Amino acid sequence: MKQIWAPWRMEYIQMKKTDGCILCEAPRQDSDAANHILYRGDKNFVIMNSYPYNPGHLMIVPYQHIASLEELTDEERHEHFDIVNRSIKVLRQVVNPDGFNLGINIGKAAGAGIDDHIHTHIVPRWQGDSNFMPVIADVRVVPEALDETYRKLRGKF
């Protein structure tokens, strides 16, 4: 049997799960560090993905609980993509990736894990950041804990 050591996951596994939308609940709480919220705009916020593909995997999320881009107001949409741009600049400065994947999954069929609250993913990428683990063992290795990445990015927005 192969084992992967990831002791920081136990805190997530044991935390109380909410019945509501995590993307609505997180910004309502007064615990940005615990929720890995990096920035709060007027209409959108930046939160780190709890299941990152790579360190620095961010999500830009409107406060309004909507399922698709066309439901955003002009003001929400403009701020949303301004924050996407700002997030890329911050990630370039702090983690210096070789590139980025940007994505919006609209609906379950498109791969949305949370399909009723639209959000934009920003995934920093480095040359050689993928390895044999996803192919051989169907396992993804993220080389840095969320709290460490949060510490690096916090205050940079």
Q: Please report, for residues 8, 13, 136, the alpha-carbon distance to residue 120 in angstroms, rounded to integers and kept in the order given.
A: 25, 25, 29
Residue pair 90/82 in contact by the 8 Å Cβ criterion: no
The pLDDT tens digits for 17-65 are 667 899 999 999 999 999 999 999 999 999 999 888 888 999 999 999 9
C-alpha distances in Å from residue 157, one per residue of 8, 38, 45, 56, 118? 26, 7, 11, 13, 22
User: Rounded to whole angstroms, how far apart are CA atoms 62 and 68?
Assistant: 11
Q: What is the pLDDT of residues 90-116, one digit of tens each?
A: 999 999 999 999 999 999 999 888 899
**pLDDT above 80 (res 77):** yes
Average of per-residue pLDDT values in the chain: 86
Domain boundaries, the chain: 23-153
Please tell me the predicted confidence (pLDDT) of residue 9.
57
Q: How confident is the model at residue 8 (pLDDT cuts 50, 70, 90)?
A: low
Which pLDDT does position 5 carry in this prediction? 57
| Domain 23-153 is found in CATH 3.30.428.10 | yes
Tell me whether residue 80 is one of the annotated catalytic residues: no
Contact 57, 48 (CB under 8 A): yes
Of residues 51 and 143, more confidently modeled: 51
pLDDT class of 137 with cuts at 50, 70, 90: very low
Residue 81 has pLDDT above 70, yes or no: yes
| Residue 46 contacts residue 59 (beta carbons within 8 Å) | yes
Q: What confidence tier does 133 reach under pLDDT thresholds 50, 70, 90? A: very low
Instruction: For the beta carbon of residue 18, count every other beta carbon within 10 angstroms.
Output: 10
Which residue among the candidates 80, 117, 119, 121 is catalytic per the annotation?
Answer: 119
Question: Residue 22: left if φ>0, alpha if ψ -120 to 50, beta else—which one?
Answer: alpha
